[in-house]
Chain A
Amino acid sequence: MELTLWSYEGPPHIGAMRVAASMDAVHLVLHAPLGDSYADLLFTMIARSAARPPVSYTSFQARDLGGDTAQLVKARLSDTVARFQPQALLVGEACTAELLQDQPGALAEGMGFEIPVVPLELPAFTRKEHWGASETFHQLVRALLHGRPPLDGAADPAARAQAEGRRPRANLLGPTALGFRCRDDVTEVTRLLDSLGVDVHLVAPAGASPADLARIPDGDFNVCLYPEIAHDTCVWLERMFKQPWVRTVPIGVGATRDFLLEVGRLTGLDPEPALARARTRLPWFSRSVDSTYLTGKRVFIFGDATHVIAAERIAREELGFDVVGIGTYSREFARELRALAERIGVEALITDDYLAVEARVAELHPELVLGTQMERHIAKRLGLPCAVISSPVHVQDFPARYAPQMGFEGANVIFDTWVHPLMMGLEEHLITMFREDVEFHDGEVPQVQRSPAAEETTAAPQPDTPAEADAPRWEPEAEKELRKIPFFVRGKARRNTEHFARERGLSQISVETLYEAKAHFSR
C-alpha cells in the first residue's frame, strides 16, 4: 500500500478513456463498478466537453457479484454496439473488474461484431493513466493497420513528396482529450509546418476516426507531439511502415527552431525562410532591461517528462533562470530526465509521491515553482510563486482563449505565464529598501489580486524552518537582520546560514554569522 494524498495520474483506464473521447466513431466499453462513471466529468466539466465521452460502463454492484457478471458485460457490449454503431470498439476493465477476471475483451471478440474489436490489457495496480493512453492508442493503430504492407519509398519523405509532385505531409500524433493545451498546440504546430511548406495529413488520436487511423501510412512522416502518448506508436510505425518521426517537441523558442530544422532535414525543405519570418516576442521581452531581475531566479520544475524537459531549456537559455531541481512522475521517461539532470548538475526526482515532491521543494526553497496542479498546493503551503506547465491541471487550465505551449506563440504565452507570479522588479526593490510600508506588506505581490501565496507567507510562520534538534540558535539581532532580506530569498538565506553555522560547529547565529554565510555562498 502507498499512502496517497494527491496522485499525478489516474488509473490506466482513464488513459483509454482519453483516447476514446478524443476520437470520432470509437466507443469504449468499460467493465467497472457503479461510481466509476465519475470519470465522465473530467471531460464534461474540466475540459468542458459538450458531449458525453463515448464510454459505457457495466456498473456492477454487490448483488451482481453473486450472479453472472460476464453476462452483464455481454449485455452492455451488444447494447452499446447496437445503439452507438461505432467503427471500432475498445473493451477494457477498471481496477475492480480486473480482480474479477471476466475477460471482457475475449468475450467481445467472441460476439461476432462486424467492426474491429480491440481488447485492452490495462494493469490497474501497476500502470497509470499515460501508459493506458499510450497502450490504447498503440493497440488501436496496430489493430487497424494489421496486415498492411509498408508503402514504397516510405523511408524517404522528401523523395516521396517530390515524386508525387506535392508538399510533404505529416501526421501529428499524441494530442488527446484532457491533454495540457493540446487543442491550441495542434493549431500552432499546423501553422508552423505550413510556414515551412509542410501539410498536416492527419491528427490523432484527437479528432481522428478509425478510418483516419488507417490512413496513417499515407503520411510522409510522423510528428511525436506528446511522447507520453505517442512515442510507442511512432516507434512501431517506424518499424512496420518505415515512417521516420520527429523527436524534437517544439516547446520554447530554441526547441521550436530545432523542430523546424529537424523537419527541414527530413523533408529536404529549407527552414531558413520560415525561421526568418518567425514572430515571437519572448526573445525581446527577455532581453529588455525589465527582465534583468529575472537573472538567476532559482526555479524548481516538475511535471510530465516532455513539459519538464522543455521547461528546463526555456528556464535556463531563454529566461536566464537557475534551475535548482527537476523531476517527473513519468517513469517511462526517467532515463532521459536523469541524463538531463546530470548535464545541468542537479539531482533528478523521479516519483509519483506528492509528499516526496513537497519535501524536495521545501529543501531547495526555490523562488519559483513550475509544476502541475499538485505543485500549486505545495507552493501555496510553502508561500512560493508557482506557474502550471503540465497536467494534471484543473478547469482554469483549459482556457477559452488561444493558449498554446508549442511554437512561437506558445513561447509568448509561456513568458507571460511564468513571469506573472513573480514580483515585479520595482516592487522587489521597494520592499527591500522600505520594510514598514502599510500597503505593500512583506510578502505581498501587489499586481496579483489576493495571491494565495502572499496570504500564506504573511499569515503563517515561516513553514520552511522545521525545528531540528541540532539547529543553531538565532540571536534576536540576527533574526531581526534576517527579516530585512526579501521574503522570497529569506528561506534560502536562513537555510544557508544554519548550514554554514552547523558546518563550523557554531551553536549561535549572530549578525556576523549571517553576513559571513552570505559572503561564503556568494563566491
Chain B
Amino acid sequence: MSATSEECAAVSGPEVLRQRGERQTFCGLAGIVWLHRKMQDSFFLVVGSRTCAHLMQSAAGVMIFAEPRFGTAVLQDRDLAGLADANDELDRVVRELLARRPDIGTLFLVASCPSEVIKLDLDTAAARLQQGHEGRVRILAYSGSGLDTSFTQGEDTCLQALVPVLPELPAGQRSVLVVGSLADVVEDQFTRLFDQLGIAPVHFLPPRRAAELPPVGPGTRLLAAQPFVGETIDALRARGAELIAAPFPLGVEGTRAWMHALAAAWGVAPERVDAVIAAPAARAEKALARCRDWLAGKRISFLPDSQLELPLARFLAQECGMQLGEVGVPYLDRRVMEPELALLPSTTQLTEGQDLEPQLDRLRAERPDITVCGLGLANPLEAEGLTTKWSIELVFTPIQGFDQAADLAELFVRPLNRRQRLAI
C-alpha cells in the first residue's frame, strides 16, 4: 500500500510521529459488516481461514439473520497442498452458494491473509467465474486482509474493485460522484441540497444496489465523503474523473466547506450556496450549542482505528471547543487529508501507525477526559477510570451533514453524561 508514505512530513499542518509495532485494530474484512447492508443485492464471500469466519461472526453475529449475505470459504489442509486444486474448490463453493442464493446480483470474492500468503489469485478466479456465470451475476475480487488493509480500508479496496466496471459517462456530460458509504438518510439530505443548487446528476459510490453502478468519465467531479477512500479516488482519477479538494462533511463547518468546494467546482455562486444551506446550517448550530456546554474545554485523545480521527478531531476542536490530546491515525493519506490537516491546530500531536503498549502508556500519563478507541480496549480503559467512546459506532451511525452535526457531538457527550449520572 502506498498509503503509508514513508517520505518526511514536509507539507502543511502538524508534525507527524510515525510508529510501528503491535496494532490493536480490525482488518479490512470488517468493512463487510456495513457494506453488505448498504448494497442489498451483493454477497461477500471471504476466501480465508476459520479465523476470518470467526471475525465476521464476532463482529456481526449479534444481528440474527435469517439469510446472511456474507460467508467464508474456509481453506482446508488439502487446499494448502496445491493451487490448481484450490481454484477447483473455489469454483465448487461459488456454484453451491449461487445455487442456494439465486437472488445474489454481485458476488465479491474477498481475499484474506491466508489466501494472500498462499498466493491464491482471486482476481483471475473472479474473471474466470464471471465467464462461467455470465449474465446472471457479476463477480469481483478485492482484498480485506490484515496484511494489506486496516478496518475501513476494506471499503476502499471494495470500491476500487467496482471502478473498472463502472459505465462510462458520455463525453461532454458532467456529473458528481460522492465516494464513500453514507447512511441512506444522509444521502437523501445531500441530494435535496444539491438539487436546490442545481447540481445534477449526483451519484453515490457505493450505490444502494450493486446492480445500479454510477457512470464515471472525464466529466466526473469526485467528492470524498469518507476519509478512507484514497485508492478508490486514485482509480477514479485514472478514468478521467477529477477530485474536488475539500474537508469532510462532519460538523457544520466541515459540511459547509464541503458544499462550497463542490459549488465552486461546478460554477455555482457562493452566495447561492449560503442561501440554500442557511436554514439547515442555522438549526445545526443551534442544536450543536447544547452539546458544546458538555464538551468545551474537555480533552480528547484518539487511538488509531478508522481514519475518521482527523476530521473528528477537527470538528471537536473547532466547533465543540475540545482540547486535542494525541491524535492517532492508522495511516496518513495525504491525497485526501490535506484540507483537514490545514484546519487542525498546528500544535496537534499526530501519530501515524501504532506501537500499542507505549501508546497506552502515553494515554495513561495524559489521562484525557475522553478517549476514542476500539472495543478491544474500551472496557479495560473504562476499568482504569478513563471515559471512552468506542470508535466503530462512528462508522455505523449517520454522522455526516448539517442535520447530523448535533448527533455526532452527542456521541461524545453521551459517555461523559453517563459517567456523571451514575452514582454507583
Which residue in chain A gives the minimum CB-CB distance to B72?
A4
Q: Which residues of A contact B22 (CB under 8 A)?
A: 56-59, 76
Tell which of B51, B73, B357 touches A83, judged by Cβ atoms closer than 8 Å. B357
Interface pair B66/A36, CB less than 8 Å apart: no
Interface pair B113/A96, CB less than 8 Å apart: yes
Check B377 for interface membership: any CB of A closer than 8 A.
Answer: yes
Pick from A360-368, A373-381, A482-490, A498-506 the stretch touching chain B. A373-381
Pick from B34-42, B142-150, B312-320 the stretch touching chain A. B142-150
Q: Which residues of B contact A6 (CB under 8 A)?
A: 53, 57, 61, 68
Q: Which residues of A contact B394 (CB under 8 A)?
A: none
Return B177 CB to nearest CB of chain A, in Å: 29
Return B308 CB to nearest CB of chain A, in Å: 18
Return B139 CB to nearest CB of chain A, in Å: 15
In the complex with contacts A3-B71, A62-B148, A380-B86 CB distance below 8 A: no
Interface pair A37/B117, CB less than 8 Å apart: no
Q: Which residues of A contact B25 (CB under 8 A)?
A: 34-35, 37
In the complex with contacts A61-B147, A96-B114, A11-B380 CB distance below 8 A: no
Return A140 CB to nearest CB of chain B, in Å: 22
Return A7 CB to nearest CB of chain B, in Å: 5
Q: Which residues of B contact A421 (CB under 8 A)?
A: none
Residues 2-59 of A contacting B (Cβ, < 8 Å) = 2-7, 9-11, 13-14, 33-42, 44-46, 48-52, 56-59
Check A95 for interface membership: any CB of B closer than 8 A.
Answer: yes
Map CB proximity to A onto B23-40 as digits: 1 under 8 Å, 0 otherwise. 111111110000000000
Interface pair B62/A394, CB less than 8 Å apart: yes
In the complex with contacts A40-B24, A373-B61, A95-B51 CB distance below 8 A: yes
Tell which of B80, B96, B118 touches A3, judged by Cβ atoms closer than 8 Å. B96
Map CB proximity to B onto A385-396 as digits: 1 under 8 Å, 0 otherwise. 000000000110
Return B47 CB to nearest CB of chain A, in Å: 7
Residues 134-179 of B contacting A (Cβ, < 8 Å) = 145-148, 150
Interface pair A3/B93, CB less than 8 Å apart: yes
Q: Which residues of A contact B375 (CB under 8 A)?
A: 41, 44-45
Q: Which residues of A contact B75 (CB under 8 A)?
A: 1, 125
Return A95 CB to nearest CB of chain B, in Å: 4
Interface pair B50/A99, CB less than 8 Å apart: no
Tell which of B23, B76, B93, B147 touches A37, judged by Cβ atoms closer than 8 Å. B23
Q: Which residues of A contact B1 (CB under 8 A)?
A: 62
CA–CA, A6 and B76, complex, Å: 16
Return A350 CB to nearest CB of chain B, in Å: 17
Q: Which residues of A contact B47 (CB under 8 A)?
A: 1
Q: Which residues of A contact B23 (CB under 8 A)?
A: 34-35, 37, 57, 59
Interface pair A3/B64, CB less than 8 Å apart: no
Map CB proximity to A onto B111-126 as digits: 1 under 8 Å, 0 otherwise. 0011011100000000
Q: Which residues of A contact B97 (CB under 8 A)?
A: 3
Q: Which residues of B contact A395 (CB under 8 A)?
A: 62
Return B199 CB to nearest CB of chain A, in Å: 39
Return A464 CB to nearest CB of chain B, in Å: 14
CA–CA, A409 and B67, complex, Å: 37
Instruction: Count residues of A near B (Cβ-Cβ below 8 Å).
Output: 60
Which residue in chain A gives the minimum CB-CB distance to B357?
A83
Return A99 CB to nearest CB of chain B, in Å: 5
Tell which of A11, A57, A380 touches B49, judged by Cβ atoms closer than 8 Å. A11
Check A516 for interface membership: any CB of B closer than 8 A.
Answer: no
In the complex with contacts A34-B23, A94-B51, A99-B118 CB distance below 8 A: yes
Check B102 for interface membership: any CB of A closer than 8 A.
Answer: no
In the complex with contacts A14-B54, A125-B80, A380-B66 CB distance below 8 A: yes
Interface pair B145/A33, CB less than 8 Å apart: yes
Residues 412-462 of A contacting B (Cβ, < 8 Å) = 452, 456
Check A336 for interface membership: any CB of B closer than 8 A.
Answer: no
CA–CA, A417 and B348, complex, Å: 54
Map CB proximity to B onto A113-129 as digits: 1 under 8 Å, 0 otherwise. 00000000000111010
Map CB proximity to B onto A89-132 as digits: 1 under 8 Å, 0 otherwise. 00000111001100000000000000000000000111010000
Check A65 for interface membership: any CB of B closer than 8 A.
Answer: yes
Q: Which residues of B contact A62 (CB under 8 A)?
A: 1, 116, 145, 147-148
Check A270 for interface membership: any CB of B closer than 8 A.
Answer: no
- Give the most central of B61, B80, B93, B96: most A CB within 10 Å: B61
Q: Which residues of A contact B145 (CB under 8 A)?
A: 33, 35, 62
Q: Which residues of A contact B116 (CB under 8 A)?
A: 62
Interface pair B357/A79, CB less than 8 Å apart: yes
Q: Which residues of A contact B77 (CB under 8 A)?
A: 125-126
Return B228 CB to nearest CB of chain A, in Å: 15
Return B366 CB to nearest CB of chain A, in Å: 19
Interface pair A52/B380, CB less than 8 Å apart: yes
Q: Which residues of B contact A14 (CB under 8 A)?
A: 54
Q: Which residues of B contact A376 (CB under 8 A)?
A: 64
Interface pair A4/B71, CB less than 8 Å apart: yes
Check B55 for interface membership: any CB of A closer than 8 A.
Answer: yes
Return B4 CB to nearest CB of chain A, in Å: 8
Residues 82-112 of B contacting A (Cβ, < 8 Å) = 86, 89-90, 92-93, 96-97
Q: Which residues of A contact B372 (CB under 8 A)?
A: none
Tell which of B76, B89, B117, B376 touches A52, judged by Cβ atoms closer than 8 Å. B376
Return B326 CB to nearest CB of chain A, in Å: 19
Check B379 for interface membership: any CB of A closer than 8 A.
Answer: yes
Return A457 CB to nearest CB of chain B, in Å: 12
Interface pair B59/A38, CB less than 8 Å apart: yes
Interface pair B376/A41, CB less than 8 Å apart: yes
Residues 361-399 of B contacting A (Cβ, < 8 Å) = 374-380, 382-383
Q: Which residues of B contact A124 (CB under 8 A)?
A: 49-51
CA–CA, A3 and B53, complex, Å: 10
Q: Which residues of A contact B379 (CB under 8 A)?
A: 44-45, 48-50
Interface pair B380/A1, CB less than 8 Å apart: no
Q: Which residues of B contact A373 (CB under 8 A)?
A: 61
Q: List 5 A-B contacts (CB under 8 A).
A: A3-B96, A6-B68, A36-B55, A95-B50, A377-B65
Name B's A-contacting residues (CB within 8 A): 1, 4, 21-30, 47, 49-51, 53-55, 57-59, 61-62, 64-68, 71-77, 79-80, 86, 89-90, 92-93, 96-97, 113-114, 116-118, 145-148, 150, 357, 374-380, 382-383
Closest 7 CB pairs of A and B: A35-B27, A35-B146, A40-B376, A50-B383, A96-B113, A95-B49, A34-B146
Known contacts A3-B93, A99-B80, A126-B76; can you find 18 more A-B pairs with CB under 8 A?
A: A1-B90, A3-B96, A4-B73, A7-B53, A35-B29, A38-B55, A38-B59, A44-B375, A44-B378, A50-B382, A52-B380, A58-B22, A59-B23, A60-B147, A95-B114, A377-B64, A381-B67, A395-B62
Name A's B-contacting residues (CB within 8 A): 1-7, 9-11, 13-14, 33-42, 44-46, 48-52, 56-63, 65, 76, 79, 83, 94-96, 99-100, 124-126, 128, 373, 376-377, 380-381, 394-395, 452, 456
